């Protein structure tokens, strides 16, 4: 049972602030960026049926929050919740992004894929080693990039026409090689974006950590509805084995 507040960003973007489900539990005390929660308002009853998976945007004594964009029926109704409405949350779920304190680290985010990196950036002990490259379609004001830019180097690229996308891919091609062999490359965003990152790092003999999105029903590895193709292990649940995978582990 969870009370909540919410903060609207521009457009269809929201930070949903929930009462922390269990701040003292070991799982929550040790949660790490990259993990996610399943969120499901009680008022949904049986329709929509599934909870919705979201990266953890923030979780501390002030609450738990997720950052999301309205993309369908579930997120549309989540955006309309009022303070006091009950929400069931289960998590933290899944694995996390690697942290290499002294390694140059490139964070690649596409659209709402920026969400898990807010806390990654905030917690990192050596922010001078971090660089964020952010590709997006709606205006940058829709996203919480400004707060991250106070701490680390951020470059934002907006796509308004097909040529912008070509420019962005070219930028990725220039920036990734510097990090993918000796440093660390982390990426979260839409599937085509992750595939592009996977291709570029492979071309340069390196690898990246990719956080996969997938349709999920249970979030705990039981329904087998969110599997991806793991080169060694076969089909594995993104929710339980991931959502973060090394780019050379999986086939899209």
Partner 1 sequence: MDMKVSFGGLSLKNPILTASGTFGYGLEYTRFGELATLGGIVVKGLSLEPRVGNPMPRIAETPSGMLNAIGLQNIGVRNFVEKRLPKLPADQMAVIANLYACSAEEFAELAGYLSEQPGVAALEVNISCPNVSSGGILFGQDPKMAARVTEAVKRRAGDKPVIIKLSPNVTDITEIARAAAGAGADILCLINTLSGMAVDARTRRPRLANVIGGLSGPAIKPVALRCVHQVSRAVDVPIIGVGGIASAEDVLEFILVGAHAIQVGTANFIRPDFVFRLVDELERLCEAYGITSFDEYRGSLRL
What is the binding site for partner 1 (CB under 8 A)?
27, 38, 40, 46-51, 88, 90, 214-215, 217-228, 234-235, 240
Cβ-based nearer residue to partner 1, 49 or 146: 49
Q: Minimum Å distance from CB 92 to partner 1?
A: 11
Q: Minimum Å distance from CB 238 to partner 1?
A: 10
Cβ-based nearer residue to partner 1, 33 or 219: 219
Q: Minimum Å distance from CB 96 to partner 1?
A: 17
Cβ-based nearer residue to partner 1, 19 or 178: 19
Q: Minimum Å distance from CB 68 to partner 1?
A: 17
Cβ-based nearer residue to partner 1, 56 or 132: 56
Residue 160 is assigned to a ligand binding site? no
102 Cβ partners below 8 Å, 6+ apart?
A: 126, 129
Residue 53 is assigned to a ligand binding site? yes
Q: Are 196 and 214 in contact (CB under 8 A)?
A: no
Residue 223 is assigned to a ligand binding site? yes
> CB-hemisphere CA count at 13 Å for 66?
26
Residue 247 is assigned to a ligand binding site? no
Residue 196 is assigned to a ligand binding site? no
Binding-site residues, please?
A: 52-55, 74-75, 218, 223, 226, 239
Binding-site residues for FAD, please?
A: 52-55, 74-75
């Amino acid at each position: 049972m969870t009370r909540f507040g919410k903060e609207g960003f521009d457009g269809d973007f929201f930070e949903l602030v929930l009462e922390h489900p269990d701040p003292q539990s070991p799982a929550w005390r040790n949660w790490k960026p990259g993990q996610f929660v399943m969120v499901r308002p009680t008022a949904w009853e049986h329709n929509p049926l599934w909870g919705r998976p979201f990266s953890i945007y923030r979780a501390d004594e002030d609450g738990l929050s997720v950052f999301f964009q309205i993309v369908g029926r579930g997120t549309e109704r989540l955006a309309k919740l009022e303070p006091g409405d009950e929400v069931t949350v289960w998590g933290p779920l899944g694995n996390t992004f690697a942290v290499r304190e002294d390694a140059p680290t490139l964070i690649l985010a596409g659209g709402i894929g920026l969400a898990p990196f807010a806390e990654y950036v905030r917690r990192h002990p050596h922010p001078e080693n971090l660089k964020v490259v952010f590709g997006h379609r709606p205006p940058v004001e829709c996203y919480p990039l400004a707060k991250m830019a106070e701490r680390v180097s951020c470059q934002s690229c907006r796509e308004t026409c097909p040529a912008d996308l070509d420019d962005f891919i070219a930028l990725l091609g220039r920036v990734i090689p510097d990090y993918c062999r000796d440093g660390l490359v982390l990426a979260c965003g839409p599937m085509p974006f992750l595939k592009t990152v996977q291709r570029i790092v492979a071309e340069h003999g390196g690898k990246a950590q990719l956080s996969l999105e997938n349709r999920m029903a249970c979030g705990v590895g039981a329904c087998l509805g969110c599997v991806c193709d793991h080169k060694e292990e076969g089909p594995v649940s993104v929710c339980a084995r991931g959502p973060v995978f090394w780019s050379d582990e999986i086939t899209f």
